[in-house]
Structure 1
Amino acid sequence: MTTPVIIFIHGFGSNGYGSKAQAMREYCQQHSIPYSAPSLSHIPDLALQTLRELIEQLQRVSGERSLCLMGSSLGGFYAQVLALEYALPVVLINPSMHAGRSLRRALGTAINYYDDSPYQWRESYVDMLDKLEPSYPLSFSKEQCWLLAQTGDELLDYREAVKALPQAKHTIEPGGDHGFQGFASHIPEIVSFFRYAITST
């Protein structure tokens, strides 16, 4: 059975040890699945540079067909950009579809959730996100992209993601929140989705 190599991309102000990243890490460790969840710069261009270098390194080691992406919130935005660029399967969890617009409201001092340290979220960073935004709707198929969203997301409107990803696999749960309640229960199916995606292409 082909084993996926999974990269998890965290959201705004978060890190590679957030609750979803850690739940995924623990599952992958238990099942000997190669996994990476880098803690990224808050500067979008630097975050994307780190992710591109990681993707290209892992592709050289593991082969292009094994690599899979998943991302939450802003990480979901990055994940779809990179999935388009590298033609990779992707799972998006309450993703931001218009990250520049959404994060304009965060301009000023923001807080890193890892240690509550402050940093400056600048207009130039919003401009970077605006330039990255793909042209929607995207043509991801049900075999390449799985959207996981909850209608109770208090920060992002799940309907934007549904509209932007019309051909993707959709799991839309009522209620919940931006953190995606009950995420861990979906992990075995996420891994199965990735296994199928890398063997069917």
Structure 2
Amino acid sequence: MRKPLVIFIHGFGSNGFGSKAQATRDYCHAHDIRFIAPSLSHIPALALQTLEELIEQLQLAANSYQVCLMGSSLGGFYAQTMALKYRLPLVLINPSMHAGASLKRALGTAINYFDESPYEWRESYVATLQAIEPSYPLDLDNSRCWLMVQTGDELLDYREAVAALPNAKHTIEQGGDHGFQGFGNHLSAIMAFFQAATNR
């Protein structure tokens, strides 16, 4: 029986040691599940290249594993892009469905949450995101895609994600915030979802 190999894709300004990534890492370590959370470049083209190379190498090397994706916010946008290209199972947590449009408000100097170092967020980066945005709605069914949103998300309108993924498995929690309160409580169910998708 094949096993999941989970890649967590972090959001804008974050890194592979953000709170959701670390919670998932700890859970996977405790349950002997392969896990990777790369710290990606803030430059979209470089982040996407890193993900493509990582996924392709893992798929070549790991016949007994199925690559599964988790993505939060901008990482959700990247995750759906990779899932569509490589036909991978995915879980999206408060994802940005229109990342180019939503991140126009970040133009200028942004801050990396890991060490509070500044970096420049440019119009060309927004253009890259807009160029790769798929045509919605996406035909990702509930056996391969799980959308998790909270209505209290202060940065993104959860209804955009629900409308973009009408056939996905939906978890819509009232209240909460963009960080997705209580995320750790879902990890057991998420891994069961990936296991089922892996052996379908």
Scaled to the shorter chain, the TM-score interval is: over 0.9
In structure 1, the residue corresponding to 2:3 is in which secondary structure? coil
Q: Who is 1:27 aligned against?
A: 27
Q: Who is 1:72 aligned against?
A: 72
In structure 2, the residue corresponding to 1:4 is in which secondary structure? strand
Q: Who is 1:88 aligned against?
A: 88
Displacement of 1:2 after TM fit?
3.1
Query: Aligned partners of 1:174, 1:109: CA distance in 2, in Å?
Result: 33
Give the letter for the 2:111 counterpart: I
Q: Who is 1:147 aligned against?
A: 147
Q: Who is 1:189 aligned against?
A: 189
- Alignment deviations for residues 37-87 of structure 1 (CA, whole Å, 9 cap, x no partner): 000000000000000010011111213861100100000000001000000
Give the letter for the 1:117 counterpart: S
- Alignment deviations for residues 2-58 of structure 1 (CA, whole Å, 9 cap, x no partner): 320000000000000000000000011111111100000000000000000100111
How many residues align structurally?
A: 200
Map 1:38-77 → 2, pairs under 5 A: 38-63=38-63, 66-77=66-77
- Alignment deviations for residues 74-109 of structure 1 (CA, whole Å, 9 cap, x no partner): 000000010000000000000000000000000000
Q: Who is 1:101 aligned against?
A: 101
Structure 1 residues 64 and 167, CA gap change in structure 2 (3 angstroms): farther
1:160 paired to 2:163: no
Query: Aligned partners of 1:17, 1:36: CA distance in 2, in Å?
Result: 11
Q: Who is 2:122 aligned against?
A: 122
> Taking structure 1 as the reference length, what is the TM-score of the superposition?
0.98
Give the letter for the 1:153 counterpart: D
> Taking structure 2 as the reference length, what is the TM-score of the superposition?
0.98
The sequence identity of aligned pairs, in percent, is: 69
8 Å CA contact 2:2, 2:65 repeated in 1: no
Query: Aligned partners of 1:182, 1:98: CA distance in 2, in Å?
Result: 25
Give the letter for the 1:184 counterpart: G
Structure 1 outlier segments of 4+, above 3 Å = none
- Give ranges in structure 2 of 5+ residues lacking alignment: none
Query: Aligned partners of 1:132, 1:48: CA distance in 2, in Å?
Result: 10
Structure 1 residues 159 and 102, CA gap change in structure 2 (3 angstroms): same
Structure 1 residues 64 and 128, CA gap change in structure 2 (3 angstroms): farther
Query: Aligned partners of 2:92, 2:193: CA distance in 1, in Å?
Result: 12
Query: Aligned partners of 2:81, 2:64: CA distance in 1, in Å?
Result: 17
8 Å CA contact 2:5, 2:65 repeated in 1: no
Structure 1 residues 64 and 52, CA gap change in structure 2 (3 angstroms): farther
8 Å CA contact 2:2, 2:64 repeated in 1: no
